[in-house]
Structure 1
């Protein structure tokens, strides 16, 4: 089984790769990620070794550790751009939009990317959710995303997240919906998915909207 590195396999930057060195570094990172994902799909995460990943990418083990601190980091960076994308999407929403609508649109950005590239993304999402060490790292990322969204939402609402519970609670509810949808979408064992993650998110926010939009 060949798993090509999907959109969220590495840290995302909006700055162009302007130098040869930067382009070369990105190429090596991509090769390492693709080699790792293929090996994980073939052998399982625990059985695959850093030596095998490096060999598959045609580089040394030392080179691997210049780019990643561990095997976990290879997979976790698959999702590294999600938090930045959600915050940027929330910041771009109309200022007078209801919190539920703004948060739904923000959280839908990475889920839409997953749905659009399901064949490549699904194996990696399942790997993350079903491997305890990777799941722990993923949850760490979600905690960071919650703080970022709370800060952005607080700015939109004119509320300090440190003094007001609402921004952090709202961000937490939005990410709970994100997590629930991702788990539902990736459930099962087949390579095909029958549900649209963005549609599932709409269902989740239909439940959350009254609480998110309630006046204090």
Structure 2
């Protein structure tokens, strides 16, 4: 008899617990500050034991790192799903729209999380470290797509880097504005600047 349903159920339960811990941790960290929050407070808010927490995460910093890892995986999957004939600038902009949509849809909570990451040196360092992996994943996906500059072997990695620079610029501008700036408008402006280099053609108005 197949055990796949049981395995699937176990995986769903594990993901549910992980999501609850992540949500509780991010809310506390964003509202109180990284240094002020303890693991005991996180497990209390999530309604689980400390032992359960350490089955999923090595530290409170690890909660944020996993959150960023999952975000990067979502972006790479979205890029892989974009139509093959779509211009690279549009494909990358839309692939990165998921995190930015979260900013627009859940502005108060998202703003606190973004500001927590950008304003906490240890978390910002991990954010940039994780983005190094995002860059590799995005470059690998770009290399599979029709290349507007096939004679340039460096194109996929450089294009991924430019897209992430635009993404980071939007996050910083939105964070510095305390959420008053429109992340969608900022994204359009940022990608308009880099579109000619990404697409190898003059940008459209």
Judge same fold: TM > 0.5, yes or no: yes
1:69 aligns to what SS in structure 2?
coil
Q: Which runs of 5+ in 1 are unaligned?
A: 1-15
Q: Which residue in 2 is equivalent to 1:71?
A: 60
Partner residue of 1:178 out of 167, 190, 193? 167
RMSD over aligned Cα atoms:
2.5
Cα distance in 1 for partners of 2:147, 2:119 equals 39
**Residue 61 (structure 1) aligned to one of 29, 50, 68:** 50
Deviation at 1:17, TM superposition (A): 9.8
Q: 1:98 maps to which residue?
A: 87
Structure 2 gap segments, 5+ residues each: none
Report if aligned partners of 1:17, 1:23 keep a CA contact under 8 Å in 2: no
| Aligned partner of residue 145 in structure 2, secondary structure | helix
CA distance 1:43–1:98, shift in 2 (3 Å): closer
1:200 maps to which residue?
A: 186
Partner residue in 2 for 1:213: 199
CA distance, structure 1, for counterparts of residue 78 and residue 33 of structure 2: 34
| Correspondence list, 1:110-189, <5 A | 110-157=99-146, 164-189=153-178
* Other-structure match for 1:13: none
Q: In the TM superposition, what whole-angstrom CA distance separates every residue of 1:148-179 from its partner, at most 9, and x where no partner exists?
A: 110110110359x9x81111000000000001
Using structure 2 for the length normalisation, give the TM-score: 0.83
Structure 2 CA distance for aligned equivalents of residues 18 and 185 of structure 1: 41
Q: Given that residues 146 and 172 in structure 1 are in contact (C-alpha distance below 8 angstroms), is that contact kept between their aligned partners in structure 2?
A: yes
Give TM-score scaled by structure 1 length: 0.79
Task: Tell me the distance in 1 between the aligned counterparts of 2:72 and 2:6.
Answer: 21
Q: Which moved more, 1:59-68 or 1:165-174?
A: 59-68
Distance (whole Å) between structure 1 residues aligned to residue 116 and residue 197 of structure 2: 33
